[in-house]
Chains A and B, each alone.
Chain A
């Protein structure tokens, strides 16, 4: 074994292929930056169609993150700390949307919740609730794709956290809810934050499931990625300006999570 100090010069082949890998990701981003109409950027972003999409994207992605937080936290805890039967199956199921093509998720949502499906029809008849073509439908689609990112992040943190603190708290007479709030949660807080940011970024970028399930209605379901796709022919400058917003958000997310991913080198 060669220790850290004994590092050799990297082989030229590895360097070359590594450089190609970096170029593969960097070139399109540079292309986006150089094609941007910087002069009209502010006008493009303050255009009513753009602000509407920005506002809608912000509200739906935050709502989806909120749902992921409320539902994902207990689920992550159940998966990490209990011996419920079928945990492996549940975990696989919950992680499925991470690897499922989003458009398939959209078709699945449509099959389950369209007005002609039993469940969708029942929701509509009993509660007057229609998820297709609605902002709630956008939140549902975004939650569907974003939830796994939150659950997997928090579950991993729970597994790594030292359970003995919780056991000590229990022997001192703390109730389970208190233990969770005062001991468990502070220990995994960074992971909860990171999971929420990841889920939010994923929700913000959601396209396939949204357009398939919730359609493309201005002000109601036309989120940023849909607006980018729609504007690409009619107003390429606006499409690129909106793309820059999404790129900037991604960059900010990366910076926020730098300790987790970029290491401390």
Chain B
């Protein structure tokens, strides 16, 4: 039954990767249902309880899927996400927000919360920037330089300068020697808000992550930024000394390195960590 195997594979990987899950003889081994089919509980993840994961807005889709996978694998586990700019989240964590795992879109913000962290930040994904335009690219934007030179005083959406995506966009523009008049730049508080200014609002173009552009589907057209101008963002994850279940927090951090989680991240457009 291919379908059963597909469901089970992340669980098996999880079991192998964590050691937190295992098959024991008295519980959780293959049980046979009344209809004779094998039930799903081949392995049992022992981590349970509740955790809150604070993650960069660009991780919204991938982490929601990964959270569903973990909740399916670990019985009685409840994972709550809070997505915003990594800068905002690190500030909240330092102010004592009840967070158990922090996944940042840059290394700086992960290091900023070192005092609250358990262990060292571990990279689990990388991301790149891309230009997004309205569907069909009506302005014919082909490069970063075109963003400084829009007809009709068009507005460009960038992330807030203190959100990683805003800082990276600044670096990319600098690498391309492009200077966009700040009076024509609307600043989104995180990557998703920046994307929304293009998909829902009247921003002509924006600079977001490749993954955001992919998540927006037909809502935008992506224009690649050449490698010598682009910025590679490394995403680290770190467990935080929070109120939630420590084992489940560790399990989540470890799960991100599994093939199953890496597949979800790759599907969302992330690059594997180096």
Residues of A within 8 A of B (CB): 107, 110, 114-116, 120, 130, 132-133, 215-222, 229-230, 232-234
Chain B residues 69 to 96 lying within 8 A of chain A, measured CB to CB, are 85, 87-88, 91
A114 touches B200 (CB 8 A): yes
Q: Residue A217 contacts which of B87, B91, B160, B185 (CB distance < 8 angstroms)? A: B185
A217 touches B200 (CB 8 A): no
Beta-carbon nearest neighbor of B197 in chain A: A215
Cα A181 to Cα B160 in complex, Å, equals 50
Q: Could you list 28 A-B pairs, sorted by A, with CB under 8 Å?
A: A110-B200, A114-B200, A114-B202, A115-B202, A130-B202, A132-B201, A132-B202, A133-B201, A215-B155, A215-B157, A215-B201, A215-B203, A216-B160, A216-B186, A216-B189, A217-B155, A217-B182, A217-B185, A217-B186, A217-B187, A218-B185, A218-B187, A219-B182, A230-B160, A230-B187, A230-B189, A233-B88, A234-B161
A133-B183 in contact given A215-B197, A232-B91 (Cβ < 8 Å): no
Q: Residue B203 contacts which of A120, A133, A230 (CB distance < 8 angstroms)? A: A133
Beta-carbon nearest neighbor of B182 in chain A: A218
Beta-carbon nearest neighbor of A130 in chain B: B202
B160 touches A114 (CB 8 A): no
| Secondary structure type dominating chain A contacts | loop
Residues of B within 8 A of A133 (CB): 155, 186, 201-203
B242 near A: Cβ within 8 Å?
Answer: no
**B residues contacting the other copy or chain, number (CB 8 A):** 22
Cα A130 to Cα B197 in complex, Å, equals 15
B214 near A: Cβ within 8 Å?
Answer: no
A218 touches B200 (CB 8 A): no
Cα A233 to Cα B112 in complex, Å, equals 12
Besides the known contacts A132-B201, A133-B201, A222-B187, 19 further A-B residue pairs in the complex with CB atoms under 8 A apart: A114-B200, A114-B201, A114-B202, A132-B202, A215-B155, A215-B201, A216-B160, A216-B187, A216-B188, A217-B155, A217-B182, A217-B183, A217-B185, A217-B186, A218-B182, A218-B187, A219-B183, A233-B85, A234-B87
CB distance from B201 to the nearest CB of A (A): 6
CB distance from A131 to the nearest CB of B (A): 9
Chain B residues 121 to 167 lying within 8 A of chain A, measured CB to CB, are 155, 157, 160-162
Between A115, A218, A219, A221, the greatest number of chain B beta carbons within 10 A of the residue's beta carbon is seen for A218
B40 near A: Cβ within 8 Å?
Answer: no
Chain B residues 159 to 194 lying within 8 A of chain A, measured CB to CB, are 160-162, 182-189
Cα A229 to Cα B193 in complex, Å, equals 14
A218-B183 in contact given A230-B160, A233-B88 (Cβ < 8 Å): yes
Residues of B within 8 A of A216 (CB): 160, 186-189
A220 touches B183 (CB 8 A): yes
Residues of B within 8 A of A116 (CB): 202
B189 touches A229 (CB 8 A): yes
CB distance from B229 to the nearest CB of A (A): 24
Between B85, B189, B201, the greatest number of chain A beta carbons within 10 A of the residue's beta carbon is seen for B201
Cα A245 to Cα B162 in complex, Å, equals 23
Residues of B within 8 A of A132 (CB): 201-202
CB distance from B203 to the nearest CB of A (A): 7
Cα A120 to Cα B87 in complex, Å, equals 35
Residues of A within 8 A of B91 (CB): 232-233
Residues of B within 8 A of A130 (CB): 202
Cα A110 to Cα B201 in complex, Å, equals 7
Beta-carbon nearest neighbor of B134 in chain A: A116
Cα A234 to Cα B85 in complex, Å, equals 12
Residues of A within 8 A of B160 (CB): 216, 230, 233-234
CB distance from B242 to the nearest CB of A (A): 20
Between A133, A219, A230, the greatest number of chain B beta carbons within 10 A of the residue's beta carbon is seen for A133
Residues of B within 8 A of A120 (CB): 202
Residues of A within 8 A of B88 (CB): 232-233
CB distance from A36 to the nearest CB of B (A): 16
Residues of B within 8 A of A233 (CB): 85, 87-88, 91, 160, 162
CB distance from A85 to the nearest CB of B (A): 37
CB distance from B273 to the nearest CB of A (A): 26
CB distance from B86 to the nearest CB of A (A): 10
Cα A120 to Cα B155 in complex, Å, equals 16
Per-residue contact bits, chain B 34-69, to A (CB 8 Å; 1 contact, 0 not):
000000000000000000000000000000000000
